[in-house]
Amino acid sequence: MTANDFIQIGVYLVVLLLLIKPMGRYMAHVYADQPNRITRLGGGVERFVYRICGVNAEEDMSWKHYAIAMLLFNVMGMLAVYAFQRTQQWLPLNPQHFPALSPDLSINTAISFITNTNWQAYSGESAMSYLTQMAALAVQNFMSAATGIAVAIAVVRGFARKTVKGIGNFWVDLTRTTLYVLMPVSFLLAMLLVSQGVIQNFKAYVDVPVAQTSTYANPVTDAAGNPVKDASGNAVTKPAQLTTQTLPMGPAASQIAIKMLGTNGGGFFGANSAHPYENPTPFSNFLEMLAIFLIPGGLCITFGEMVGDRRQGWAILATMLVIFIPLAIGVTAAEQSGNPILHSLSIDQHASALQSGGNMEGKETRFGIAASSLFTAITTAASCGAVNNMHDSLTPLGGLVPMWLMQLGEVIFGGVGSGLYGMLAFAVVAVFIAGLMVGRTPEYIGKKIEAYEMKMASLAVLIPCALVVICTAIAVMTPTATATVGNPGAHGFSEMLYTVTSATNNNGSAFGGLSANIPFWNVMLSVCMFWARYMLAIAMLAMAGSLAAKKHVPESAGTLPTHTPLFVTLLASVVIIVGALTFLPALALGPIAEYLMSAH
Amino acid sequence: MSRLIRNAVTMLLVMTIITGIAYPLVATGVAQMLFPHQANGSLIVKDGKPIGSELIGQYFDDPRYFWGRPSATTPQPNNGTASNGSNLGPTNTALRDAVQQRIDALRKADPGNATPVPADLVTASGSGLDPDISPAAAQYQVARVAHARHLSAEQVLALVTQFTQGRQLGLLGEPRVNVLQLNLALDGLQSK
């Protein structure tokens, strides 16, 4: 690794930590029960929304009531996204005249966007109308993020409240998240991104003459539009003249801002944040990376504020950083060392003042190794899934890092909201294990952890693990699925493992060589995304309901303090051990096998 | 339950109007006011007509021009409507073959040059539209371009230096050279 690689990671972490604290405190005010400056300022709009929607903002919901409202709202969102995709050919703002998408692709995209996964089996610039992008997909970027944050806040209330039934009001949490947190920050970020060159318009695509014409091999298609193949199965091509280039247009910046801030990750364009119109400069890249961790990091602080003990929030944040930093350095080191199979060619992969060197396949020159690798670690630690380089072309160990970060359950920062409640499930498991060691009833944040809480926490921890392992096994045994891999050998298995891991943990990034737009993947991944997202959220809401009803246990000499380095170590160990025990065998068949073979 | 369904439907409608219609429209309005050049694609305009974008790379294979990052888009390279990388795995022999072919093409265009090729010049970019190459990749091509255009290497190198951008704010990203702008400047140099 070069000195600059370390500097770029260091500067990022410092700026992030400076932003997280005010963001976290701000959010604690947004969700406070008592009126304050923020809720007074936007109170007019907020009350107007409640009046139109017939919401009684004073109503305190039980966990079941909260969960049903959350599910109903998300299902309505799913139906809306599905409808937009199936009818976009008749709707306005479709200058490229894109047709309707297939039913299985539409349902996959709908579930993908409501669950904050943003797995994309389509390419935006050649499939989605501007209206579908903004009124269906971008709306769910906001709503899925707001849903995640709302559930996290409800779970935090479970710890903060004493002997009450209610854990808050879903409609209020959703509205406040959108109005006070997501909208203002997104708008500001969108403008900063435009200043760097991200496009924001409603124009039709622009054709430009190229500076130098050239010829290329154009595949021949028959009357029905299918590619023609010769006797040996190769596509028939004929030379064509390349004289013009078509530049895509559209309202990208507004959507990209919330795509990063809401850890959604669904690109406006096919190449996602590698596309120069989606991420034009190193500074826009820096802003996008900050936006990914801003809310998941800030919510740790919000947690500390809301439970009345700031140290608890810092301990959760410290646990995330303890796991994140070594893995971010790991992927950077792996990429900077270059691709071993190219070493014997006449190619210079060494870093110098004039080039970043390293494994540049699938990476953009302006980002080089440091800004690409850091982005990769951030986007998979958080369940964002935006990519600024092609993960499929990462070195074997470089590709192992993002895969494993997702397999840890998306709790290292994780998705907005879902990262915090996922990590709180691990914290409950950690105090339980500590309790077993000393033979005492475990407590966390002044609440006794009993059988019911443990059941819910175990469900939250185990559901994604089980889904990933089982569904990968199903894929491996299904010939139509194995036929879709884009690379031979161990890497082909990695592609399938990555795909199922990404969908189940609601990340959405891909080893893109796999052709995922077939009914098998569309349907199975829909199931993974849906069950993992909502089973986990419901289990955590159930835990919150049970905790809120409990009385506060005063700290005693036998209480395990949960804000110390000892607890941070314990919690990080639990996360790593669960992730390692579950996935090491699968990883050994994929990236580890590939690494060992390439080392020769 | 029916009240909850009513809440959910109206809430989705209201939020669609706020976040799906009002937000992008206001953002477009403000962006067009503050940064019209960037918001419309950073187009390079000549005689009133767009001839490219500062941000979108074009394909070059003539020895007279600097070549950009290899592009894996289909069917033609640097296809603006189908951005993508190659997605070739690191140990895939197809990757090795593709890199070898690109090295051969560079060697054929510049037989005298036997120095190892900078990595970014023979590996496909992530978007297939990368507008930049590293300064190392630009300097590697200076002798060839100068020879093909009957210019001195110093003249061409001066242009390369002029179009080299350092790290942003001195520390972010990597130094880079915008290929399309450099090539347009080369053409401009000789049409004078």
Residue reference for tokens 């071993």: A340
pLDDT at A440: 85
**Per the domain annotation, does A213 fall within a domain?**
yes
Residues of B in contact with A215 (CB under 8 A): none
pLDDT at A95: 87
Average pLDDT over residues A544-570: 93
Nearest to B96 by CA among A359, A234, A232, A351: A359
Is residue A264 within 8 A of residue A116, CB to CB? The reply is yes
**Per the domain annotation, does A230 fall within a domain?**
yes
Task: Judge: B87–A511 Cβ closer than 8 Å, yes or no.
Answer: yes
CA distances from A354 to A232, A351, B56, B137 (A): 45, 8, 22, 8
Q: From B135, which residue of chain A is nearest by alpha-carbon distance?
A: A354
Q: Examine the pLDDT at A104 and tell me if it is beyond 60.
A: yes
Average pLDDT over residues A174-201: 97
Number of domains in chain A: 1
Residues 505-524 of A with CB under 8 A from B: 511-513
In sequence order, what are the residues at sequence separation of 6 or more whose Cβ sits closer than 8 angstroms to the Cβ of residue B191?
Answer: none
Strand partners, B43: B53
Q: Examine the pLDDT at A600 and tell me if it is beyond 70.
A: no
How confident is the prediction for chain A on average, in pLDDT? 94
**Per the domain annotation, does A268 fall within a domain?**
no
Distance CA A37, CA A43 (A): 10
CA-based nearest distance A146→chain B, Å: 11
Task: Judge: A210–B69 Cβ closer than 8 Å, yes or no.
Answer: no
Task: Judge: B9–A205 Cβ closer than 8 Å, yes or no.
Answer: no
Q: Is B104 on the interface with A (CB under 8 A)?
A: no
Question: Residue A222: which domain range?
Answer: 206-247
Q: Is A491 on the interface with B (CB under 8 A)?
A: yes
**Rg, C-alpha atoms of chain B:** 22
In tens, the pLDDT along A279-304 reads 999 999 999 999 999 999 999 999 99
Nearest to A20 by CA among A297, A422, A269: A297
Residues of A in contact with B21 (CB under 8 A): 134-135
Query: What b/e sequence results for A132-159 when a residue is b if at least 16 CB atoms lie within 10 Å of its CB, and e otherwise?
Result: bbbbbbbbbbbbbbbbbbbbbbbbbbbb
**Per the domain annotation, does A491 fall within a domain?**
no
Interface test with B, best of A98, A245, A391, A400 (most B CBs within 10 A): A245
pLDDT at A461: 95
Average pLDDT over residues A514-528: 95
Q: Examine the pLDDT at A224 and tell me if it is beyond 90.
A: no
Q: From A600, which residue of chain B is nearest by alpha-carbon distance?
A: B91
Q: Where are the domains of chain B?
A: 2-37, 43-191
Residues of B in contact with A245 (CB under 8 A): 52, 56, 58, 78-80
Q: Which of A86-95, A121-130, B104-113, B137-146 has the lowest mean pLDDT?
A: A121-130
CB count within 10 Å of CB A502 equals: 31
Is residue A532 within 8 A of residue A463, CB to CB? The reply is yes
Distance CA B109, CA A373 (A): 33
Distance CA A533, CA A527 (A): 10
**Per the domain annotation, does A253 fall within a domain?**
no
User: What does the angle CA B107 – CA B111 – CA B115 come to, to the nearest 5 degrees?
Assistant: 65
CA-based nearest distance A45→chain B, Å: 11
Q: Is A289 on the interface with B (CB under 8 A)?
A: no
**Per the domain annotation, does A80 fall within a domain?**
no
Average pLDDT over residues A531-546: 97
**Per the domain annotation, does A581 fall within a domain?**
no
Residues 130-189 of A with CB under 8 A from B: 134-136, 138-139, 142-143, 171, 174-175, 178-179, 182-183, 186-187
**Per the domain annotation, does A387 fall within a domain?**
no
Write the residue in A240, A254, A349 that is nearest to B119 by C-beta. Answer: A349
Write the residue in B5, B18, B126 that is nearest to A390 by C-beta. Answer: B126
Q: What is the ipTM of this complex?
A: 0.96
Q: Is A368 on the interface with B (CB under 8 A)?
A: yes
Where does the pLDDT of residue B190 fall: very low under 50, low under 70, confident under 90, or very high at 90 and above? confident
Q: Is A200 on the interface with B (CB under 8 A)?
A: yes
Nearest to A236 by CA among A224, A225, A216, A221: A221
In tens, the pLDDT along A138-160 reads 999 999 999 999 999 999 999 99
Strand partners, A227: A221
Average pLDDT over residues A163-177: 96
Q: Is A435 on the interface with B (CB under 8 A)?
A: no
Write the residue in A283, A511, A513 that is nearest to B168 by C-beta. Answer: A283
Residues of B in contact with A64 (CB under 8 A): none
Six-digit token pair at B10?
């109206």
Q: Which of A28-37, A70-79, A498-507, A524-533 has the lowest mean pLDDT?
A: A28-37
> Pairing relation of β-strands A443-444 and A237-247?
unpaired
Which helix H or strand E contains B52, and what residues bound it?
Answer: strand B49-53
Residues of B in contact with A77 (CB under 8 A): 12
